[in-house]
Homo-oligomer: A and B are copies of this chain.
């Protein structure tokens, strides 16, 4: 079943697609730029959703659902927003197809032309703030803290499975507050929530930072972000949390009576993560043999492979394996017994590796006799014979070790791929020689940022919120020599 996986060293982009297709996470679709998320990929997204959804609810957010279609005129209301999104959106112009008698094929029925074009949402600030302007009259109606799980469309020309697709799945939070301070607090709370999720569940360390004006969300006053590092040394923006100030409440006339009985525009935030995270997870940990998954998100955490040559052995081994499965399931471990007939154990091993199941239990007649099993870690390939007594404890401990091991490995890798430079030559050398994060001084102007991007393809990923001591010191811009208050983080990025 498994086609060959191109090694990372040979072609990283090919490797990525090979890992995804072999693990059956996703497939291309006949509509250019769209993808099909297959059951193995969707199960990963479901685990992410469930975890994040719980975190949102624990912090007082509720889910809702707003319409897919946005009237074209809504986009026009916020000047920067329209600038950012009108150039890449799917436009619905008709409500009916009819047979064209000349060609015999379907065509949009001319008399079904819409009075106003509709845009398939690229993001929902406008339609949501139109609703909020009706719901919010007084400070008593605030805060509103709504999240929605939805699909969005941005007409991307260069797409890549999970990382950049025309349609993607995401969650978008949209909150309204009575004060600026409260909206800022929310923006930061969500950034930390995202960072905790990516570090604790996805086992990927992130930098928390502030975007430069040129990389801000269209319509935001400030965009906070988390940035992760992939194995090829490129950065990936894993989530954003925007402080929108009063931009959208003003665009949609959303005023409320504050506690002093004065009319004031509501303060707001928006924030989101998407199926892009599945791509980050794949890129973050996988190897040349296929997918590697952190146990906390793996749809199947443990697989048992029974090994036998004859019916007597078979019965004995399956009975043991069945008991182990039942015990572990009771503990809440997501476990599968691969008792398919007609496939050899070695073939199964390979498939489980390709699919990234974190831990494999192999059990044969000798193990049953000796009261042992053989455990194999997907991440390190370490094999170990352990006692079947207390197996559930052993497994839980191993899963914790794997989760921690993946994070530590990614953290070490990031450490090794982080360079601090003082000159533009060093900067270019670091980018060319190894990539990764390059911390350097910047004079704070769009011009310098654009010049560096133009010359090196590196962008400012963020201005770190909690900079290391070495980054917090002042200096001079590596290109212009103008003063700089601190180092910022550059990288080539997805």
B34, B38, B67: the one within 8 Å of A64 (CB): B38
CB of A69 within 8 A of CB of B39, answer: no
The A38-78 residues at the B interface (CB cut-off 8 A) are 38-39, 41-43, 45-46, 62-76
Residues of B within 8 Å of A74, CB to CB, are 30
| Cα(A151)–Cα(B124), bound, Å | 15
| Cα(A383)–Cα(B169), bound, Å | 47
| Cα(A118)–Cα(B155), bound, Å | 13
CB of A90 within 8 A of CB of B95, answer: yes
- Asked if A63 meets B75 with Cβ closer than 8 Å, knowing A82-B106, A91-B108, A97-B119, the reply is no
- Asked if A67 meets B130 with Cβ closer than 8 Å, knowing A96-B155, A155-B96, the reply is no
Say how far A143's CB is from chain B's closest CB, in angstroms. 13
- What is the interface residue range for chain A against chain B? 35 or more
Name the residue of chain B whose CB is nearest to the CB of A39: B62
CB of A73 within 8 A of CB of B119, answer: no
| Cα(A167)–Cα(B151), bound, Å | 13
Name the residue of chain B whose CB is nearest to the CB of A104: B76
CB of B118 within 8 A of CB of A67, answer: no
- Asked if A98 meets B69 with Cβ closer than 8 Å, knowing A63-B43, A63-B46, A151-B151, the reply is no
Interface string of A12-54 (1 = CB under 8 A from B): 0000000000000001011100111111011101100000000
CB of B69 within 8 A of CB of A167, answer: yes
Residues of B within 8 Å of A96, CB to CB, are 86-89, 91, 155
Residues of B within 8 Å of A37, CB to CB, are 64-66
A127 at the interface (CB under 8 A from B): yes
Residues of B within 8 Å of A95, CB to CB, are 88-91, 155
Residues of B within 8 Å of A34, CB to CB, are 67-69
| Cα(A67)–Cα(B31), bound, Å | 8
Name the residue of chain B whose CB is nearest to the CB of A145: B39
| Cα(A91)–Cα(B94), bound, Å | 5
Residues of B within 8 Å of A75, CB to CB, are 97, 106
| Cα(A86)–Cα(B112), bound, Å | 12
Residues of B within 8 Å of A167, CB to CB, are 67-69
A316 at the interface (CB under 8 A from B): no
Residues of B within 8 Å of A63, CB to CB, are 39, 42-43, 46
| Cα(A91)–Cα(B108), bound, Å | 7
A92 at the interface (CB under 8 A from B): yes
A263 at the interface (CB under 8 A from B): no
A153 at the interface (CB under 8 A from B): yes
A259 at the interface (CB under 8 A from B): no
CB of A64 within 8 A of CB of B36, answer: yes
CB of B94 within 8 A of CB of A39, answer: no
| Cα(A108)–Cα(B119), bound, Å | 10
Task: For the complex of A and B, list the 10 residue pairs with the smallest distance between their C-beta atoms, beginning with the closest.
Answer: A39-B62, A34-B67, A37-B65, A86-B97, A91-B94, A95-B155, A91-B108, A90-B92, A93-B93, A29-B67
Given contacts A36-B67, A73-B106, A91-B92, 7 further A-B contacts (CB under 8 A): A36-B64, A43-B62, A68-B167, A86-B96, A90-B95, A93-B108, A120-B120
Binding site for B on A (CB under 8 A): 27, 29-31, 34-39, 41-43, 45-46, 62-76, 82, 86-98, 105-108, 112, 117-120, 127, 130-131, 134, 146, 150-151, 153, 155, 167, 169
The 13 sampled A-B contact pairs (Cβ below 8 Å) are: A31-B67, A31-B118, A36-B64, A37-B66, A39-B62, A43-B62, A68-B120, A86-B96, A91-B97, A91-B112, A92-B93, A93-B94, A95-B155
